[in-house]
Amino acid sequence: MKLLTLNFLTCARKTCKSLPAAFPLHPKDAELEVVETDFNAPFLRNILGRLEWDALKTLCMELGLPNLPPSAPEPEALLEPGAEMAELELERELEPTQTARDLHNLLLETGIKEGKLVCGNCGHEYAVKEGIANFLLPSHLV
């Protein structure tokens, strides 16, 4: 499962769901995989505003990935200086910045193939198998 997906997930237990401690879920014994996908600058720009940057920083640290800067990059930082976003869309040969490539690789190409996701509030562990996270709870925990 892609790291970007974790931006939208929390503990499935009702008592945890809306608590700040239940987000982000913490990866444990994670086996990562990288699956290449097309780079798309307008998409990346649109996703910036949805990212919980602090949660993403925590995730990178816990997965042993390179540290992220303290705050999310500005949309302008995704392009080579001087290039307009519209041009980038039309003229594919224009290169995105390293910041943009790194972010694309982290959010959309890096995923958890096998492992667990742990709730920071109740400690419940959710298994990830073949890239599919299992959030089903035994009935006494629902």
Residues that bind other proteins (CB under 8 A): 1-2, 4-5, 8-12, 17-18, 23, 40, 42-43, 45-50, 75, 85, 108, 126, 130-139, 142
CB of 77 to other proteins, least distance (A): 15
The dihedral through the CA atoms of 17, 19, 24, 25 has a sign that is negative
Q: Closer CB to other proteins, residue 83 or residue 85?
A: 85
CB of 111 to other proteins, least distance (A): 8
Q: Closer CB to other proteins, residue 39 or residue 65?
A: 39
Residues paired with residue 31 on neighbouring β-strands, in sequence order: 114
What long-range pairs does 73-82 form, CB within 8 A, spacing at least 24? Answer: 73/48, 73/99, 73/103, 75/45, 75/48, 78/41, 78/44, 78/45, 78/103, 79/41
CB of 134 to other proteins, least distance (A): 5
